[in-house]
Structure 1
Amino acid sequence: MAETVNESLTSVFDDPERQSLMAKLKYRFKGSLRTISPTIWACLWISSIEKLRSIVTTASQEDGIEDLLLRFGGVVASRLVQNWTQRTRRTSNSGNHSGSASGLHTPTSVRSTDGRSADERSKAVRRDEGRCLVTKAGAYNQVAHIYPYCLGARFTGVSRDMFWSSLSLFWTKDQIKSWKDVILGEKGTGNCVNLVTLSATAHVYWGKALFALKPISLSEDKRTLEVGFYWLRQFSHASWVDPLFRAEHFFPRSCVGNDLRLFDCKTGREICSGDTIVLK
């Protein structure tokens, strides 16, 4: 029997306990609202509930607000979001815009000029049958990373330490360890399981966070995964946000502005939020 994920992408906003904790946090901050950056707002809403409880407890203590503001400032300084969204690198280093995989009869690119494993990339292309997982385009595709390549084993030094330390404010040690075990393992971000085949356009949209894929169900043999496709609404930059802010219409139906769209190359149908994609 397949494992099913029933929660919607915005289910955290409907959780009564999380709503109550965020309301308490807003009350504790009072006149300090302008120090809550969009990054902190997002992390608070999707954090583990245990960590959110701990944050609210800290806010209730003497000098707790000052402590939290300092720690929140560290998260912003770590460039958490900026590091995460650096999915694409300089064109001169990407080496994935043309060419064919050795032994594969497809113009889908798998070249690796920066030392990454071409074998793992070839495996990903074969697994995806050379087609873009979103548009089903059958050629001239690219291999993209799910977890950003730039945050893999080569992400070292102070920046790396600040990144992982920032996560520890919002998620438990066990959660972070499980992520590290997968991401920083022997094959790291270059592992086939962290690679997907996308059309050039879908790859750009993916790197710009214009859409997201939400796991829905996993087959019993772990070989088939159903995911939901969702366009992501683009927001203008703000320096601060109310902790209880909840955007309406998070997921545009079929366009995120500027006529940016994707189409199923087999049917010609426009790809919309809520569509189901089967990954094998």
Structure 2
Amino acid sequence: MSRPGPNTEFESDRKAELLRRLKNLLDIPVPSPAWAGLWLADLSVLETTAEDVSSNDTALQTLRSSILLNHGLLVRQWCQRDRKGSATSSRTSSPSRGLTHTASSSLQRSTVIGQAVQRREDVGEGPSDLPAAPEPHTLPRPTKRQRTRSFSARDDCSVRDGDRCIITKHADPDVAHIYPYSMGGVAHESPNSTFWTLLRSYWSNERVENWRAAVFPRGTETLCNLLCLSPNMHRWHSKGLLGLQPVEISEDKSRLTLRFYWLLQHQFSRNVDLSARPDIPCDLNGLEMDFKAWNAITERKIRSGDEIILTTSDPQNLPLPDWDLLELQWTLQRLAALSGAVDIDPEEYSDYDSDGA
């Protein structure tokens, strides 16, 4: 039996059958974010969706409308492209491939605790610059207490990961968030926020609730949500160019196995064949000429399928990254790569909605 890889969700014949059925029922072009989401979706969600739209015209029309709406927003939020100015600042070229494929639908999660800085340079800000504690309904800079907690988690992350990138073993890494810092605010804490609602279109309520519970109420500034990544790996991860697949965690939570994959970017498309099965290459040693990396100790090129072993001597006080957060990351990194929607201007979706093209 072959080991699970980046295409595991696409190998189900039953899923292929359901998507062919949905394609015939929908009878409309499907945008690439919807195509990618549906192929990554839980089989149980697809079973329910297919049954509903087969017997209910209202459900069918609702699904059609849902597929034509802003499902690229899910990718943009995850990759932190919905923040002001991010669309232009992030438009460095990414390797891509042509598409003739598609996806759609679901999401959920709760409360926020600490907020802090996303980049290591912010550590240099002094406590004298901090404002008084904000009102609960506002979302300004973190308080002094919150920043102290954040710095402690970041220091602990450096200790746990040996102050080296977990992928390349380069020294002086960034401390990176698994679940984005920008999504730890009040706007994302409700189970009914756009992000969690969209997730529930593709994945079961139980699975999405597990993801949400891994973030809230603890917030983003916890050791379980942090990893040491080199600056390049940190940036490329935020662009959906790579993903970390959780493989195994020991019973005592002291050893975690991940698998690294380069993720070739598909081009965004408004018209993808829903029945076309996705394929993520499993043997890449980089992405074209511009995105490659080497192990700083062995000087070996970083390749898809490389295993990463994380350990901790104290699972209680220096816990490893949370399994559910890693699973969410692995799922949405592939969604980002397959959809081609990371750096698409939101106007693309507005045009789509208005002209029906």
Query: Where do residues 90-239 of structure 1 align in structure 2 (5 Å cutoff)?
Result: 94-97=118-121, 116=147, 117-139=150-172, 141-156=173-188, 161-186=193-218, 188-239=219-270
The Cα of 1:6 is off from its aligned counterpart by 4.1
Shift of 1:65: 2.5
Q: Distance in 2 between matches of 1:8 and 1:157?
A: 31
CA distance in structure 1 between the aligned counterparts of 2:303 and 2:22, rounded to whole angstroms: 36
Q: Which amino acid is 2:53 matched to?
A: A
CA deviation digits over 1:57-104, x for unaligned, max 9?
122124232121123345527x1111011189879x74424868xxxx
**In the alignment, is the contact (CA less than 8 A) between 1:145 and 1:195 conserved in 2?**
yes
1:273 and 2:304 aligned:
yes
Pick from 41, 54, 63 the counterpart of residue 60 of structure 1: 54
Distance 1:157 1:178, change over 3 A: closer
Counterpart among 30, 33, 37 of residue 31 in structure 2: 37
Aligned-pair distance for 1:161? 1.4
CA distance in 2, matches of 1:162, 1:66: 20
CA drift of 1:157 comes to: 8.6
Cα distance in 1 for residues equivalent to 2:201 and 2:305: 32
The match for 2:11 is: 14
Q: Is the 8 A contact 1:251 1:273 kept in 2?
A: yes
State the one-letter code of the partner of 2:74. L
Task: Tell me, in whole angstroms, the C-alpha distance in 1 between the residues paired with 2:275 and 2:187.
Answer: 34
* Structure 1: gaps of 5 or more residues: 101-112
Give 1:163 shift.
1.7
SS at match of 2:164: coil
Instruction: Say how many residue pairs are matched.
Output: 257
CA gap 1:99/1:270 in 2 versus in 1, 3 angstroms: farther
State how far apart, in whole Å, the 2-side matches of 1:172 and 1:14 are.
19
Cα 1:95–1:205 shift into 2, 3 Å: closer
> What is the correspondence of 1:56-95 to structure 2 with a 5 Å cutoff?
56-63=50-57, 64-74=59-69, 76=71, 79-86=73-80, 94-95=118-119
Change in CA separation of 1:181 and 1:132 when aligned onto 2, cut-off 3 Å? same
In the alignment, is the contact (CA less than 8 A) between 2:293 and 2:302 conserved in 1? yes
Tell me which of the two structures has the higher relative contact order, counting C-alpha pairs closer than 8 angstroms and 6 or more residues apart: 2
1:74–1:158 Cα change, 3 Å = farther
Matches of 1:138 and 1:150, distance apart in 2? 26
Gaps of 5+ in 2: 90-116, 125-140, 312-357
> Which amino acid in the other structure matches residue 76 of structure 1?
H
TM-score, normalization by structure 1: 0.82
Query: What CA RMSD, in Å, does the superposition of the two structures yield over aligned residues?
Result: 2.7
Secondary structure, in 3 states, of the residue corresponding to 2:19? helix
Task: Please say if residues 248 and 256 of structure 2, whose CA atoms lie closer than 8 Å, have aligned partners that are also in contact.
Answer: yes
State the one-letter code of the partner of 2:255.
T
The one of 291, 308, 324 equivalent to 1:260 is 291
